[in-house]
Amino acid sequence: MRKASILFLLFALPAAAQEVPMTPEGPSEAPVSIEADPEPSVETPARPPRRLGIGAVRTLGGLTGAELEIGLGGFALDVGAALRVDDGTTFGVGIALFMPVRLHDRVELRFGGRLAFVHKTGGDGVYPDYSMGGTELDLEAPLRLQLHLSDRLTAHAEVGPTFAIVTDGNPAGRPKGFYLLLDQPGTLATFGFTFWVD
């Protein structure tokens, strides 16, 4: 019995020595890995869609006046109106529908179309604009770049072609007919701004 106990100790002690590695300072403990909690990701909140804005606009066809912009979910309705009195009285209104694409938190690219109606009464048909009473319809395909200067103020620039249909008279210095306006200064670039009240 005593010999069996001695043999058991001879075999048990080396096995125990292998399970607990020794260091000069004493038995070493298995390293414990501590994983830090991942930092929560902070996402920039999306800019809330605006619903109503007022401002000024110059259309590609040359209509310059006040602007009312209404947010319609994923679209924007833009209404511009102008009244000018010189050698005659010119009244115009334009309605545009845009689909905005967000490029950045402060930058939007907008695709759309606009129909503008211009009517002039009076006019002598001489220099500087050679205009006289008549009616013109403008069909525009604007590409608008809109910049959010602040939470309430945006500025925009537009480029695109304009198809003008003069039904009668000569309201903008063009006689009756159909025109593709690619040589107009406003077609190269027009500008405007909007102040959002809601």
Q: pLDDT tens digits, the chain, 198 residues: what are they?
A: 555 555 444 454 454 444 445 555 555 555 555 655 556 555 555 566 678 999 998 888 888 889 999 998 889 999 999 887 776 788 899 999 999 998 888 999 999 999 999 888 877 666 556 667 888 899 999 999 999 999 899 999 998 888 989 888 777 777 888 988 775 555 566 889 999 998
Domains detected in the chain:
52-196 (2.40.160)
Task: Name residue 148's beta-bridge partners.
Answer: 154
CB 61 within 8 A of CB 186: yes
> What's the pTM?
0.68
The 3-state DSSP class for residue 52 equals strand
